[in-house]
Chain A
Amino acid sequence: MTTYPWAAGYVAGDRPQIVTSRFHYEDSYTLERYLASGGYEGLKAALAKAAPAVHEDVKGATVLGRGGAGFPAGTKWGLTPAGKYPRYLVVNGDESEPGTYKDRLLMERDPHQLIEGCLIACYAAGLSQCFLYIRGEMALAHERVGRALNEAYAAGYVGKNILGTKFSVDIALHWGAGAYVVGEETALIESLEGKRGEPRLKPPYFPAAIGLYGQPTIVNNVETLSNLPWLLCNGVEAYTAIGTQTSPGTRMVAVSGHVKRPGVYEIINGTTTFRDLLYGDEFCQGIRNGNELKAFVPGGGSAPWFTPEQLDLPFEGRLVGAAGSMLGSGAIMVMDSTTDIPKAALSLTRFYAHESCGQCTPCREGGTWLERILSRICDGHGTSSDLDLLIEVGTSICPGDFPHASSTKLGLEATPFPYKMTTICFVGPSAYAPVHSALTLFREEFEAKIVKRTSIPVTVGH
């Protein structure tokens, strides 16, 4: 339950630490500290086994992807066409989902752990070259990972004949340049190829089969890979002993907004509930100023919203999906009773409209249209038909039922995640998700702006 000035936002606790175990060292990013605290032992353990055995470990541990979709990494590695080489590893360090950050901390605070994770993945899945793509705006992460790579090369952990074995792989550090959509794995590949970061269509472009340069490519998230050194050092049993069977291990979760102690926590996967997180003493300690909880976004800005009714759901992907939302990238945004809901929805919708890559019609045109209607409403220029129009434009992006959480207030059943979409990727629906949630749950706040033209002020500060 401690914070560290050099890891702003991170809150340690009395829980198992798989990926944040070195955050309490000020010099955690140096090779010296890394080696002094068990660093590169996981790699050695891996190299002592045959590559398929390491792959089996990762499968056995059910290391879930931490980027958003929650797909098991070991399964993902197995999707590459047999015998087709070369294969590449692309590390997704383009973290930009609103509310989300953990990869930035992992890159800034423990770059060697990530490098070691990359090496283990390359070894296990037969990946011939690794590209470590870091979001452009993360200057400190560039510096720390760059320096760590230089150290690791000098010490023989990366490059040719690693630790005297036949295992050789280069890790190239690649800088992004500011585009949220590049976090989508096929867009990340396009960007890495020097192109506009526009998502590719699936099918046919499943990266495991047709990825970087048309070759089989594994795209893994920073946090996912950062789990591997601990897994290899401590074994599958130790890993699966934490969390639940379907969601083993830990997860890094960022809780922001109107809580008393916002922060990034490494929590136990699958069992920790939202109530624990928002109200627990070792976590956020409740809503600020003693206010009531109004709503929260459970899994990054694109997730349909939850209300206090869903507080007792555990941090478990399938249960959250059945309840009409998603865990996504491990970001919870908390809105208390003072929140101006239409403005909050506008902030989220504006994000996705702004971040649309522009290649498909519904997202390019629809996202901006939603933003403009919301702006109009928030500015007091909304008309009575605008609320239906929001739904209509949204339906052009997501035909059919849109997921939402049940609400006794409205007497509705939960519609499970995910949704149908007319777009190439999830960015378009993400622009609609907050509108849909806000309108379903708090329609009267929109109506109030149209009828009475009043605004509920946002309270500033903590």
Chain B
Amino acid sequence: MSRLNAANLEIAREIMSRYPVVRSATIPLLHLSQEQNGYVTREAMQQIAELVESTAAEVYGTASFYEMFKFEPIGKYCVNICRSISCHLVGGDDLVEHAEHVLGIKPGGTTADGLFTLEAVECMAACTEGPTLQVNYRHRFRVTHQDFDQLIDDLRAGRLDAEIPPHGTLARERQHIPADKAAGNVSPDTPITPAWMEAAQ
């Protein structure tokens, strides 16, 4: 179960085909695994290592470098509150405290019902709209304490299901390169001058 299922394995192979060096697919495949299971499983890392021709240690070395990858189950909703300078200046720290109080957990914790994981994170590129948070990487801007309470209520009640998929799903629409349209990946080992450059010479 925690390896990539058949449908995702097919997606994985398409992703891999875009890169001339297959190890480049490591991070996209880790995302795929996280989308399937909500976190990156041990078995998935071993499978990804086989797919991208590296070792599990290398895959884990890469995966653990990046904050978005979780190696244990977390809440259905990962609530990330920004604490970097722009949000800090307009009350980001207070929002974190408020969230701790409302959810009854500290940053890094998950609520007992498995619904929410709270994280105090660094800048998420919405600096003029602080305090900012993301739920499963969907932004919320200029979040007041009331806004936060409402958001949590809405998430609990499932009112945001259409907008916010469970943790692990980033984009709901993926890139797909149709075979008949593809130019094809270009291997570093094929020193070929691009056709349009030849014409230019």
Q: Do chains A and B touch in the complex (CB under 8 A)?
A: yes
Q: Does A462 contact B (CB under 8 A)?
A: yes
User: When chains A and B are docked, how far (Å) is the Cα of A168 from the Cα of B177?
Assistant: 13
The residues of A that contact B171 with a CB separation of less than 8 Å are 139, 142-143, 146, 175
Do the beta carbons of B27 and A257 come within 8 Å of each other?
A: no
User: When chains A and B are docked, how far (Å) is the Cα of A101 from the Cα of B122?
Assistant: 13
Tally of contact residues, B, Cβ under 8 A: 77
Q: Which of A127, A160, A176 contacts B66 (CB 8 A)?
A: A176
Q: Does B146 contact A (CB under 8 A)?
A: no
Please report B residues at the A interface, Cβ cutoff 8 Å: 18-21, 23-28, 30-31, 52, 54, 58, 61-63, 65-69, 80, 83-86, 88-91, 93-94, 122-130, 134, 136-139, 141, 170-178, 180-188, 190-197, 199-200
30 residue pairs from A and B, CB less than 8 Å apart: A85-B192, A85-B194, A98-B122, A98-B127, A123-B196, A128-B192, A129-B20, A142-B170, A142-B171, A146-B175, A153-B181, A165-B196, A166-B196, A167-B196, A169-B183, A175-B27, A177-B27, A194-B54, A196-B61, A196-B65, A213-B21, A254-B127, A254-B128, A263-B128, A264-B128, A301-B123, A347-B83, A351-B123, A458-B91, A460-B90
| Interchain nearest-CB distance for B133 vs A (Å) | 11
Do the beta carbons of B137 and A139 come within 8 Å of each other?
A: yes
The residues of B that contact A98 with a CB separation of less than 8 Å are 84-86, 122-123, 127
Residue-wise interface mask of A (333-363) relative to B, using a CB-CB cutoff of 8 A (1 in contact, 0 not): 1110001000110011001001101000000
Q: A143-B171, A169-B183 are in contact. Are A301 and B193 (CB under 8 A)?
A: no
Q: How many A-B pairs with Cβ below 8 Å?
A: 261
Q: Which of A146, A174, A256 contacts B127 (CB 8 A)?
A: A256
| Interchain nearest-CB distance for B86 vs A (Å) | 4
Q: Does A238 contact B (CB under 8 A)?
A: no
| Interchain nearest-CB distance for B136 vs A (Å) | 7
Q: Does A50 contact B (CB under 8 A)?
A: yes
Q: Does A214 contact B (CB under 8 A)?
A: yes
Do the beta carbons of A301 and B84 come within 8 Å of each other?
A: yes
Shortest Cβ distance from B65 into A: residue: A196
Do the beta carbons of B178 and A83 come within 8 Å of each other?
A: no
The residues of A that contact B27 with a CB separation of less than 8 Å are 174-177, 191, 194
Do the beta carbons of B139 and A140 come within 8 Å of each other?
A: yes
User: When chains A and B are docked, how far (Å) is the Cα of A192 from the Cα of B174?
Assistant: 18
| Interchain nearest-CB distance for B22 vs A (Å) | 8
Residue-wise interface mask of A (114-153) relative to B, using a CB-CB cutoff of 8 A (1 in contact, 0 not): 0000000001001111010001111110110011011001
Tally of contact residues, A, Cβ under 8 A: 96
Please report A residues at the B interface, Cβ cutoff 8 Å: 8-9, 50-52, 83-86, 88, 95-101, 103-104, 123, 126-129, 131, 135-140, 142-143, 146-147, 149-150, 153-154, 156, 158-160, 165-170, 172-180, 191-197, 212-215, 254-258, 262-264, 297, 301, 331, 333-335, 339, 343-344, 347-348, 351, 354-355, 357, 458, 460-462
| Interchain nearest-CB distance for A184 vs B (Å) | 14
Do the beta carbons of A150 and B176 come within 8 Å of each other?
A: yes
User: When chains A and B are docked, how far (Å) is the Cα of A213 from the Cα of B180?
Assistant: 26
Do the beta carbons of A104 and B125 come within 8 Å of each other?
A: yes
Nearest 6 interchain pairs by C-beta:
A194-B26, A177-B66, A178-B67, A142-B171, A460-B91, A262-B128
Shortest Cβ distance from A357 into B: residue: B65
The residues of A that contact B26 with a CB separation of less than 8 Å are 194-195
Do the beta carbons of A175 and B28 come within 8 Å of each other?
A: yes
Shortest Cβ distance from A195 into B: residue: B62
| Interchain nearest-CB distance for B174 vs A (Å) | 6
| Interchain nearest-CB distance for B1 vs A (Å) | 23
The residues of A that contact B80 with a CB separation of less than 8 Å are 137
Q: Which of B94, B122, B125, B181 contacts A354 (CB 8 A)?
A: B122
User: When chains A and B are docked, how far (Å) is the Cα of A256 from the Cα of B76?
Assistant: 31
Do the beta carbons of B195 and A347 come within 8 Å of each other?
A: no
- Other than the given A136-B68, A150-B176, A258-B90, 4 more pairs (CB < 8 A) read A85-B192, A86-B186, A169-B183, A197-B65
Q: A86-B191, A150-B175 are in contact. Are A8 and B129 (CB under 8 A)?
A: yes
The residues of A that contact B19 with a CB separation of less than 8 Å are 172
Do the beta carbons of A193 and B23 come within 8 Å of each other?
A: yes
Do the beta carbons of A8 and B126 come within 8 Å of each other?
A: yes
The residues of B that contact A334 with a CB separation of less than 8 Å are 89
Do the beta carbons of B173 and A150 come within 8 Å of each other?
A: yes
User: When chains A and B are docked, how far (Å) is the Cα of A135 from the Cα of B137?
Assistant: 11
Shortest Cβ distance from B17 into A: residue: A172
Q: A347-B83, A351-B84 are in contact. Are A174 and B28 (CB under 8 A)?
A: yes
Q: Which of B20, B23, B188 contacts A194 (CB 8 A)?
A: B23
The residues of B that contact A173 with a CB separation of less than 8 Å are 175
| Interchain nearest-CB distance for A328 vs B (Å) | 13
Do the beta carbons of A85 and B193 come within 8 Å of each other?
A: yes
User: When chains A and B are docked, how far (Å) is the Cα of A143 from the Cα of B174?
Assistant: 7
| Interchain nearest-CB distance for A430 vs B (Å) | 12
The residues of B that contact A258 with a CB separation of less than 8 Å are 89-90
The residues of B that contact A97 with a CB separation of less than 8 Å are 123
Shortest Cβ distance from B124 into A: residue: A137
Q: Which one of B84, B86, B192 has the highest number of Cβ atoms from chain A below 10 Å of its Cβ?
A: B86
